[in-house]
Structure 1
């Protein structure tokens, strides 16, 4: 009997990009719109086997490869031939072995030998970056690897935490776990450590809901760092958008790396914690075409993948040398396919987009209606996960805070700068006899930053923070007036200069008990403001423990104890951790502090009402709002739900360098106020205060009062 003929795919209909399996067999497809030939290059025991891809349509080269050629575990890459015309943006070179842009795993590391990476260096050391170098680079580049994404997820379910209940914890895989004493040494700094009971206990004990991981896409260190004996620590230098970074795994094989990361996600989900990924689609590890290597996208189709100027050079809006060009539909498709891959194959719960305006730049600049953003809003998978934008890049008109469409939430730098100014910079000014900035903008930030993010996006559009991975840690904000980045090898030129920090009179470490007490109270003020403001709070791993980077505010290349969280805590650090736990618990308990809709000033049933009071218990006057020397304000949150659901909470914010008296608001239904938390040790929890009666508020302190409500009439 003659077996049935094997089905065939029409040459006009390419398969999904990357390596996929269908009823036709194993199919391979890659974007190389301007290439004249593309070869699949497979590592075999006998060396590299090259298989020409026969079909070419709509910018995609593809073929069905011989059975068994690309079994799981196989290492492979591509070679692309075509025009070498740098002025037109074409940089094809079959001497360069290239990673698959859709490769699901990466094996090996980039070995930096610049003379093989698209640079020609003559005897005098001069670079000729536009000359094609035909020396084969195969021995120096990693390979893409075929992996099996079958995995036993058991009863895994996404925690699906509502935005109004979300507390984001930004962390680095290595930085969070590398020094944890309860994590076995062989697991420290790995994906497996994220799922270790000791790490899970810390996260659940703190009360955070969503772990936002710095990049876990495969990445490489920049050659300039390697030359200085350093390496990229943060991971914002992507080598593969579909592959996990192998350096974070305890496993030593590509399949094991994939499975280990999935196991970490499953473990975090089991205790109700979401996993968000910080993703870097705005640029790649290939850097600029005049100084960077050819590793993947540039060799396949430089003109398609990258934003170029009229002379074929990179149009850089990221500050890294290149910018991925999402004006091209095939590039948009790559990013969307990557995002769906992490949701569907790794069960991640959302993404934070690095330099997000770079992803939404059309031919005339940023557009909130960019096709990529529209696609995210309408995609049946991606529209259902958490999406967070870093709403600025370094290109023209790159500051776009408040301009991203729903369902995006946005990092709020206005919030960061205002809160730092109120609690730190303005206190220092007051002590020197100078006016500050008053309380008007602080009140706006605490109330949800409607002036920045708009009024129709709810109360969770703003991601509130005072620290992030880049910049000072919480402790360093209170200990340094200036950055100290000398370890980075850039003569302290890197990193932000505008930190709104205050060293409390001494730069760096000190044994002065008064300075230390003041610094620690300032840390509590900052942490309390973030966790109690309207919006989505974000804290950075280690801030709850008083972690220091010794004044380094750009530790991107410090993969060492300077950046890793230390878990050996002094008594004051244990107290700070207890405060952080209390604040997160208060936010969880007091729903009035985490409304889904922006608070209103006028009463509205079912909505949180937010009113502002002065020290005497009266409303803040117009003159007081405009006073740059005003250092005190009281925020009163209450609800108009049924009486048994009603809550009343007052935040007393006093940033004066000396104490003052404040009368708690006298409002209907509140018969007394109870101190639930204060950054000042002299105000113990449980003290009761009478509405309208002045009480002593310590200098530079934040206090949380909860109203004791009158019993509703029978």
Structure 2
């Protein structure tokens, strides 16, 4: 407690990530939160809600993901959404939703609602959890990659070696779209907005700078991806429907639409009820390698995100009925009337 407070007071750190937070007890983590927030209520604390091995303390006393509701103003990583997006973290050649792996729809939906309770999520089909462990979206970190394990780009290269660069870029954009439009706290690995690579090295703690450094030349090479992510961040900041504050708000105002295909997830956001300028928003994720048909509700719609492009002022207009969602991409529309 004293060490973390010292870092805040002397070095003005405004955020702390706790590695293997699950080996710490709940009482200590809450003491950390109390001390830090007494000094600065805006400090953000988050951590890994798992442990590396056995602990002398029983699980119900540890700061594990399942005990998030007992943690005060501390957020936890959702490994359910991470692995639903890209595939099992310790199986490098495993595909995820973005790269065509079926059977992950409920895990994606669990991530979309930030691991909060939702009557349309089938918990018995979620990859790692059978409980809605998050009491509120601010305590859920939604992400696809971090410093551990392969970068998202390297993971796609390993799990889909036959895919073209253009196809992998589509998958990569879809992953970051899912992160930046889900409820909860979005987390981006530095450099993922221009396809960061560690050249296939998974655990790079002992690797030289040539592996771990951010290669800024990739920003120029993949400037389209950079701008795409930049615009998604602006979109999220501008529209509170993508960042509801309570589990009750999510339950009431985010509703999934029926889709038969296991690689198609669709839901609506009630913008009017969340103070958004857009009265209704429709979000569709297509993880398949081919276009899929979706029946739009009977309204006039304007696409904001479509086939790897994003524009806050709109891309195309639709009038309901059947439409195609491009392969490995998101289609996000706002209601016009």
- Equivalent residue runs for 1:231-310 within 5 Å: none
The aligned residue for residue 292 of structure 2 is 660
| Compared CA separation, residues 665 and 571, structure 1 to 2 (3 A) | farther
Kept in 2: contact 1:655–1:699 (CA 8 A): yes
Q: Quote the offset at 1:555 in angstroms.
A: 0.6
- Equivalent residue runs for 1:144-183 within 5 Å: none
Q: Quote the offset at 1:358 in angstroms.
A: 2.2
| Compared CA separation, residues 580 and 647, structure 1 to 2 (3 A) | same
- Equivalent residue runs for 1:272-671 within 5 Å: 336-360=1-25, 368=26, 370=27, 372-379=28-35, 380-381=38-39, 385-396=43-54, 400-404=64-68, 405-421=71-87, 424-425=95-96, 436-450=102-116, 454=132, 457-480=135-158, 502-505=159-162, 515-569=164-218, 573-598=222-247, 600=249, 603=252, 609-614=253-258, 624=260, 630-641=262-273, 645=277, 647-666=279-298, 671=299
Kept in 1: contact 2:180–2:233 (CA 8 A): yes
Kept in 2: contact 1:459–1:597 (CA 8 A): yes
Q: Quote the offset at 1:576 in angstroms.
A: 0.6
Separation in structure 1 between the aligned mates of residue 275 and residue 147 of structure 2, nearest angstrom: 43
Deviations 1:483-507 (A, max 9, x none): xxxxxxxxxxxxxxxxxxx22426x
The aligned residue for residue 697 of structure 1 is 325
Separation in structure 1 between the aligned mates of residue 307 and residue 292 of structure 2, nearest angstrom: 15
Separation in structure 2 between the aligned mates of residue 583 and residue 428 of structure 1, nearest angstrom: 21
1:675 to 303, 317, 324: 303
Q: Quote the offset at 1:545 in angstroms.
A: 1.2
Whose radius of gyration is greater, 1 or 2? 1
| Compared CA separation, residues 374 and 528, structure 1 to 2 (3 A) | closer
Deviations 1:637-657 (A, max 9, x none): 113449885532211111122
Q: Quote the offset at 1:548 in angstroms.
A: 0.9
The aligned residue for residue 125 of structure 2 is none
Q: Quote the offset at 1:538 in angstroms.
A: 0.6
Separation in structure 2 between the aligned mates of residue 462 and residue 644 of structure 1, nearest angstrom: 22
Separation in structure 2 between the aligned mates of residue 644 and residue 536 of structure 1, nearest angstrom: 18
Separation in structure 1 between the aligned mates of residue 4 and residue 96 of structure 2, nearest angstrom: 40
Deviations 1:442-469 (A, max 9, x none): 1121111125685773221111111010
Separation in structure 1 between the aligned mates of residue 274 and residue 203 of structure 2, nearest angstrom: 50
Separation in structure 2 between the aligned mates of residue 351 and residue 682 of structure 1, nearest angstrom: 32
- Asked which structure has the greater RCO (Cα within 8 Å, sep 6+), the reply is 2
Under a length normalisation based on structure 2, what TM-score does the superposition of the two structures give?
Answer: 0.82
Separation in structure 2 between the aligned mates of residue 588 and residue 429 of structure 1, nearest angstrom: 30
| Compared CA separation, residues 504 and 426, structure 1 to 2 (3 A) | farther
Structure 1: which 5+ runs fail to align?
A: 1-335, 361-367, 431-435, 481-501, 507-514, 604-608, 616-623
Separation in structure 1 between the aligned mates of residue 276 and residue 208 of structure 2, nearest angstrom: 52
Find the residue that maps to 2:5 and give its secondary structure. helix
Kept in 2: contact 1:376–1:382 (CA 8 A): no
User: What root-mean-square deviation, in Å, do the aligned CA atoms of Structure 1 and Structure 2 show?
Assistant: 3.0
Kept in 1: contact 2:113–2:250 (CA 8 A): no
Q: Quote the offset at 1:664 in angstroms.
A: 2.1
Deviations 1:514-537 (A, max 9, x none): x11110101101111111110001
Structure 2: which 5+ runs fail to align?
A: 89-93, 118-128
The structure where helix makes up a greater share of residues is 2
Deviations 1:233-268 (A, max 9, x none): xxxxxxxxxxxxxxxxxxxxxxxxxxxxxxxxxxxx
Under a length normalisation based on structure 1, what TM-score does the superposition of the two structures give?
Answer: 0.40
